[in-house]
């Protein structure tokens, strides 16, 4: 065998799985295959303090580029400071953690095919392992219907202190365009700040130049001038309907999909790190360490998670299908008036039945006539709406 476990793709899901495996099984031979030429600084992954376990907080701490004790949101009719901690990790730091753990990453490794026990590279080389995982990112398929979270972020080194003390995870006081629009601000140092223009949109088309210009205009309006040091962009799925059972029937052989490729992300926010950490622990605790054994455990986890997330997908259908684009911010503005412990459980994907009832009771977030067509999920999967 070339390795005990081979992971396709060197992104978040594969990297966290590799780190958990190294901690649980120090002698395991772990190999990550990635087509990139080497580590990049093009990704930032963030999470709320309650989202992950203390073990993961400790494991990821050396890779954090930002760690704050509070966060803020701003809407036209409401602003709020939230007491939950917030942290951000960069892709360079994550790659460094992987390398320092003694995990081998083969860069410039173009994968032609992944099977249950082997990876075939584009140059014809065949690598074998008892376990093959596929973490190469989201792939369109018939079992997941989505809207899109699109963003372009500009990180600048300001000429003077920017004066932002904590992350602004949503500033929706900006003009509403292309669905629900907000600005996301991460103050990494007193002079360095990331400004992302983000849209919750029906379509996946992303105009990098337009969103970058909007982010820079936002910065200039606040007196933040300086040198651009980094840029990132993304188009993330926001789940409206999910047939997890159908997905796993289609993946009853071959490599085991993980991360975005398996539809494992927070349906509303698109955050993927908390569930990736949970899946990594599941993988690391599997014995024997084989493709079949991990598939069995991960399939059960994913089916349970999909059932638990049905309410979150309903909220997305209300947002995307029940509310005109320029008015979508009103649903989020209402949500951020709710009790803070509920908001924390929402982000962590641990809503109680009482939480769900609290979210939808009171003044309806959208008219009943608009909400009723959003209730059924199956028509979207059948392409009926």
- Summarize pLDDT for 73-89 with one digit per residue, the tens: 999 999 999 999 999 99
Q: Quick one: average pLDDT of 177-185?
A: 96
- Give residue 364's pLDDT: 64
Confidence band, pLDDT 50/70/90 cuts, at residue 201: very high
- Sequence-distant (≥ 6) Cβ neighbours of residue 253 within 8 angstroms: 116
Q: Quick one: average pLDDT of 267-294?
A: 97
CA 216, chain centre distance (Å): 24
- Give residue 384's pLDDT: 62
- Give residue 363's pLDDT: 72
Distance CA 385, CA 374 (A): 10
User: Domain 3-67+89-141+241-308: what homologous superfamily?
Assistant: FAD/NAD(P)-binding domain (3.50.50.60)
Q: Are 40 and 107 in contact (CB under 8 A)?
A: no
Distance CA 120, CA 358 (A): 51
Distance CA 90, CA 258 (A): 20
Length of the chain measured in residues = 385
Per-residue pLDDT of 212-264, as tens digits, reads 999 999 999 999 999 999 999 999 999 999 999 999 999 999 999 999 999 99
Residues of the chain with CATH 3.50.50.60: 3-67+89-141+241-308
Helix (H, G, I), strand (E, B) or coil at 48: strand
Per-residue pLDDT of 295-344, as tens digits, reads 999 999 999 999 999 999 999 999 998 988 889 999 999 999 999 999 99
- Phi first, then psi, for residue 239 (nearest 5°) are -75, 125
Q: Are 273 and 43 in contact (CB under 8 A)?
A: no
Distance CA 206, CA 276 (A): 26
Residue 365 has pLDDT above 80, yes or no: no
Residue 184 has pLDDT above 90, yes or no: yes
Is residue 288 reached through a cis peptide bond, with omega within 30 degrees of 0 on the bond before it? yes
Q: Which residue's entry shows tokens 């789940």?
A: 239
Name the region of 38 (left: φ>0; alpha: ψ -120 to 50; beta: rest): left
∠ Cα 347 351 355 (to 5°): 115
Helix (H, G, I), strand (E, B) or coil at 248: helix
Please tell me the least confidently modeled range out of 34-38, 65-69, 311-315, 323-327: 323-327
Residue 367 has pLDDT above 80, yes or no: no
Residue 143 has pLDDT above 80, yes or no: yes
Q: Quick one: average pLDDT of 45-68?
A: 96
Q: What letter would DSSP give residue 93?
A: H
Residue 357 has pLDDT above 90, yes or no: yes
- Give residue 371's pLDDT: 77
- Sequence-distant (≥ 6) Cβ neighbours of residue 371 within 8 angstroms: 318, 322, 364
Helix (H, G, I), strand (E, B) or coil at 301: helix
Distance CA 278, CA 146 (A): 23
Distance CA 223, CA 164 (A): 12
Residues of the chain with CATH 3.30.9.10: 144-239
Read off the pTM.
Answer: 0.95
Residue 376 has pLDDT above 90, yes or no: no
- Give residue 385's pLDDT: 55
∠ Cα 272 238 188 (to 5°): 45
State the average pLDDT for the chain: 95
Fold of 144-239: D-Amino Acid Oxidase; Chain A, domain 2 (3.30.9)
- Give residue 298's pLDDT: 98
């Amino acid at each position: 065998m070339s390795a005990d476990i081979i992971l396709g793709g060197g992104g978040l899901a594969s990297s966290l799985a590799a780190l958990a495996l190294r901690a649980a099984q120090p002698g395991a031979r772990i190999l990550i295959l990635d087509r990139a030429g080497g580590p990049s600084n093009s990704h930032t992954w963030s999470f709320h303090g309650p989202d992950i376990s203390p073990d993961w907080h400790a494991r990821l701490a050396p890779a954090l580029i930002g760690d704050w004790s509070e966060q803020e949101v701003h809407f036209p009719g409401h602003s709020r400071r939230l007491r939950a901690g917030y942290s951000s990790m960069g892709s360079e730091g994550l790659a460094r953690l992987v390398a320092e753990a003694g995990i081998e990453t083969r860069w410039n490794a173009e994968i032609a095919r992944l099977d249950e026990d082997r990876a075939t590279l584009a140059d014809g080389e065949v690598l074998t392992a008892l376990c093959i995982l596929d973490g190469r990112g989201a792939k369109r398929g018939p079992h997941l219907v989505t809207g899109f979270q699109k963003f372009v972020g500009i990180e600048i080194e300001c000429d003077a202190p920017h004066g932002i003390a904590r992350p602004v995870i949503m500033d929706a006081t900006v003009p509403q365009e292309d669905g629900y629009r907000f600005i996301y601000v991460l103050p990494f140092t007193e002079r360095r700040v990331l400004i992302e223009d983000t849209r919750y949109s029906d379509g996946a088309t992303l105009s990098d130049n337009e969103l970058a210009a909007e982010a820079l205009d936002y910065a200039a309006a606040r007196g933040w001038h300086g040198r651009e040091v980094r840029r990132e962009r993304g188009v993330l799925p926001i789940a409206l309907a999910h047939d997890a059972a159908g997905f796993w029937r289609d993946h009853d052989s071959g490599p085991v999909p993980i991360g975005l490729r398996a539809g494992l992300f927070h349906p509303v926010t698109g955050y993927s790190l908390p569930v990736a950490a949970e899946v990594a622990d599941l993988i690391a605790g599997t014995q024997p360490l084989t493709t079949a054994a991990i598939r069995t455990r991960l399939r059960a986890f994913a089916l349970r998670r999909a059932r638990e997330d049905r309410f979150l997908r309903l909220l997305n259908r209300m947002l995307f299908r029940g509310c005109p684009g320029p008015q979508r911010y009103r649903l989020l503005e209402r949500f951020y008036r709710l009790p803070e412990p509920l908001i924390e459980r929402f982000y962590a994907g641990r809503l109680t039945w009482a939480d769900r009832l609290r979210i939808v009771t009171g003044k309806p977030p959208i008219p009943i006539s608009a909400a009723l067509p959003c209730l059924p999920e199956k028509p979207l999967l059948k392409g009926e709406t």
